[in-house]
Amino acid sequence: MSRRSRLIYSPDYTNYYFHDEHPFNQRRLLVTYDLIKSFDLLAAEHVLPPRHATDDELALIHDRGYIEAVRAQGHSTAELPLSASYGLGSEDVPFFPGMHEAASLIVGGTLQAVNAVMNGEADHAFNPAGGLHHALRGRASGFCIYNDCSVAIAYLRKYYDARVLYVDTDAHHGDGVQWAFYDDPNVLTISLHETGKYLFPGTGKLTERGQGEGYGYSINVPLDAFTEDDSFLEVYQQLVPQVAKAFKPDVIVTQNGCDAHAYDPLTHLSCTMRIYQEIPRLAHQLAHELCDGRWIAVGGGGYDIWRVVPRAWTLLWSEMSDQPLGDVPLPEEWRRRWQEQSPFVLPTRLLDARESFPPIPRRREITETNRLTLERALLFAPHQ
């Protein structure tokens, strides 16, 4: 067990709460944390509590007028005049009491991870509440109020002068992070996501490559709908190491949304738990090879909070903390505890049985489409 990893966690993360019917449900963090503990993967020194981000830290990315609007709306019982113009009060981002405090705690949690890694307290750190990659400079978007990923990268640039590799494997394009650093050659963003033809936010095209000095430092691979494990991993494993080695980052930041799973109710990809074992394994390897181990991971999307999110982020933490798990049974006491609340029969093992997911009829066509997309993405990527 490595003592050089940190998990940023507090039950107060669940204060980021829209309403009972909203798909973004932070109960997933309670279920995940309990699974990690049930596998006996946590020592006391692993856990680091989050803190609130300051307004100055938030303002590294967000307009101060927007920050004040979020704070004011979270302290009001009625919709304020400018809230809609800031994306607040929409179906995706309904306002709720204390929304500024809840969102700034998540950002502060990711900054805790940054400082732990960059100050040498840890090699790796994981904030599962983070990964809110859609929020824009002056607008909430896609369930995200503040963009902890962008704030963390801006913080890394300002206070550590670090070259940052950001790798986003959420099924939704990491648009907020891309636009925040679109002209910065010291931040390279990679996003593997379901094509925007079918899915929010509709961006992440191959032609979005950066601008000015940042041209070539924004890399998007829009995957065909119903992409399965083999094709997803082929793209990921061919793209990320090649680009990372050419870019030579000082630190790697990964956004680990787990909504590419076939069970996810909001997306159209057809992957299994296998990819969530392989994604952090490669990130871990590259961090040690290129960055003296410096790796900051955050959560992200994931809307099957019972069968997918806990297993995916437990796999991530087990890899990060040098306690890798194979296809092992899930702890029976964990299953009993949460089965009463879950609308689904909980899985019995950490990985999915291949026979549980029949092959997609268009498998060959989808695989070839993704290969062509990868080839085109690599044409404009940095090369050694």
**223 sits in which H/E element:** strand 218-223
Q: What is the mean pLDDT of the chain?
A: 97
Q: How far apart are CA 8 and CA 155, in angstroms?
A: 17
Strand, helix or coil for residue 54: coil
State the catalytic residue, choosing from 134, 193, 261, 284: 134
pLDDT above 80 (res 384): no
Apex 155 CA angle, 313 and 41, nearest 5: 25
Q: In the predicted model, is pLDDT for residue 295 greater than 80?
A: yes
Domain 5-62+97-379 in CATH 3.30.830.10: no
pLDDT-based confidence at residue 354 (cuts at 50, 70, 90): confident
pLDDT computed for residue 94 by the predictor: 97
Question: pLDDT class for 2, splitting at 50, 70, 90?
Answer: low
Identify whether the C-beta of residue 349 lies closer than 8 Å to the C-beta of residue 202. no
For residue 382, name the pLDDT band (cuts at 50, 70, 90). confident
- The 10s digit of each residue's pLDDT in 10-40 is 999 999 999 999 999 999 999 999 999 999 9
Q: What are phi and psi of 47, to 5 degrees?
A: -90, 130
Q: Is 134 a catalytic residue?
A: yes
What's the average model confidence in pLDDT over 190-206? 97
Q: Taking the domains of the chain in order of start, what are their residue ranges?
A: 5-62+97-379
3-state secondary structure 288-318: HHHCCCCEEEECCCCCCCCCCHHHHHHHHHH
Beta-carbon contacts of residue 44 (< 8 Å; ≥ 6 apart): none
Judge whether 319 and 284 are in contact, CB under 8 Å: yes
* Paired residues of 126 in beta bridges: 7, 297
Whole-number pLDDT of residue 1: 64
Q: Check residue 77 and give its pLDDT.
A: 87
Give the per-residue pLDDT at 92.
97
Percent of the chain with pLDDT over 70: 99
**Mean pLDDT on 270-287:** 98
Span 304-339, pLDDT tens digits: 999 999 999 999 999 999 999 999 999 999 999 999
